[in-house]
Homo-oligomer: A and B are copies of this chain.
Amino acid sequence: MTPPAAPAAAPPAEPDLLPAAFLGDLPVEDFLRHGHELVEWVGRYFADPGRYPVLPRVAPGDVRAQLPPSPPPNAEPLGEALADAERVLVPGLTQWNHPGFFAYFANSSTAAGTLGELLAAALNVNAMLWKTAPAATELELVAVDWLRQLLGLGEGWHGHINDTASSGTLVALAAAREADPALAVRERGTAGRADLPALRVYCSEHAHSSVDKAAITLGIGHANVVKVGADAALRMRPDLLARAVAEDRARGMRPLAVVATAGTTSTAAVDPTAEVAAVCREAGAWLHVDASYGGAAAAVPELRAHVLGGVEHADSLVVNPHKWLFTPMDCSVLWVRRPDVVRRAFALVPDYLVTAEQGEAVNLMDYGVALGRRFRALKLWMVLRTFGAEGVAERVRYHCQLAREFAGWVAAEPGWAMAAPVSLSLACFRYAPAGLAAAEHDALGERILDRVNRSGEVYLSHTRLAGRHVLRLAVGNVRTERRHVARAWALLREAAAALRPGA
């Protein structure tokens, strides 16, 4: 290594700079004036979250065409930027806050979460090290522990916040790879090693694509993600899992991890975690539970055993407060049993990040890929405080009740049928009038979906089950009331009546 250059009398490599003067940020008066205006705007928006169509009436390129192609050479007033945001951007957005948002799984923006984000953006700390943001680091540990208690999880979990469950699952599977130090993946990698078998990851055929993406990213490979068949309720079958694991072992492959899902994306099915855990234990495989959507239901005491039963045997668990826990994007909690294994997978402390507190304080940069870390805990903590444990449970319970009521309407209506057991706050269904072939049902479902979504009043999405097109109505936004679900049902029936052959 070359020793550092001695005295810097040596001329710097860069060209001479022109004299410059301090400019700083915009005047505080601008912030105050436009900040108050924006609070008023957001207040009106929250008061009437249905005032924009839930799906915007734009085609690809429409928004971009309204924006200048180059940055302005000189500063423009803050008020103009905000006015353009209201004029051009907001009407070009899908309205995730709309009470008729029933697609995918809902996100919720809330008063507490939004103000938490405002304060976090102003403080703008980087919680990479305890020293660089002590209160943000400690609040993160507190907030995820509050959430642990609220979901009825036992002790002995170490939690931290990632942006999304995709990142959390990637961290969990990376840790799984380090759980057996003999693999020496951190140091030696996996390529070019004759000593290493193929590493296998198992999940239900209905597991989220983030499992595949994590396996691809980690170099495990898409072909090494084993999709295990499901039962009639679309839950992973532990017997098929055990068989797949045994077959792989017989072929010299290494079962690394199993991902059980508590609330699949397609149908909200909950895998039988306790039975899956037994297979993992026998195989020495890491058990990760993806409860990114469903975990919130554990806030409801009477749903807890259903959704998170068996999770006490898991090695890691991911739950997204930004999905069904009323916290703005992004906020995903990963709990692990053995934080030392996660640190073994990710901790790197270069000289410039060494601090005196290293031994006694948690440095959250050691638990994942990102070094820079926003103060995400603030919004979560504010939501938990202002809703309270009971307030969270009541809202989640209400959403489940709405989905169940909707399913009842579907099941009772001629020509309509549920396509999977209703689970948590999700109903999967189809319009399948007698006398039509399955392919015609599928085409009709696509047209019904397109028609109701064009109304601007609701947004539903779809999935496929056994190759068949299925409609999904997922309740989860804090602003959704019974009347919005009823309106969705009315629009669906109207569309079916208008579109069915012979109508």
Contact = CB atoms under 8 A, between A and B. Distances in A.
Nearest to A227: B1
Interface residues of A, number: 235
Interface in A378-410: 378-379, 381-382, 384-391, 394-395, 397-398, 400-401, 404, 407, 410
A411 B82 CA distance: 47
A202 interface: no
A220 B219 CA distance: 8
Nearest to A32: B43
A374 interface: yes
A76 B116 CA distance: 15
Interface in A55-100: 55-56, 58, 60-64, 67, 69-78, 80-82, 85, 88-94, 96-97
Interface string A209-235: 110111111111111100001111110
Contacts of A2: 229-232, 234, 466
Nearest to A42: B122
A275 interface: no
Contacts of A253: 192
A455 interface: no
Interface stretch (A276-284, A413-421, A486-494): A413-421
Interface stretch (A161-169, A311-319, A333-341, A495-503): A161-169
Contact of A5 (B13, B26, B199, B420): B420
A60 B356 CA distance: 11
A115 B466 contact: no
Contacts of A221: 185-191
B30 A111 contact: yes
Given A25-B479, A42-B122, A56-B135, 18 more contacts: A8-B419, A9-B411, A12-B423, A14-B306, A17-B397, A18-B397, A23-B395, A39-B118, A58-B134, A69-B145, A85-B382, A124-B329, A164-B371, A166-B372, A174-B217, A189-B224, A190-B190, A217-B346
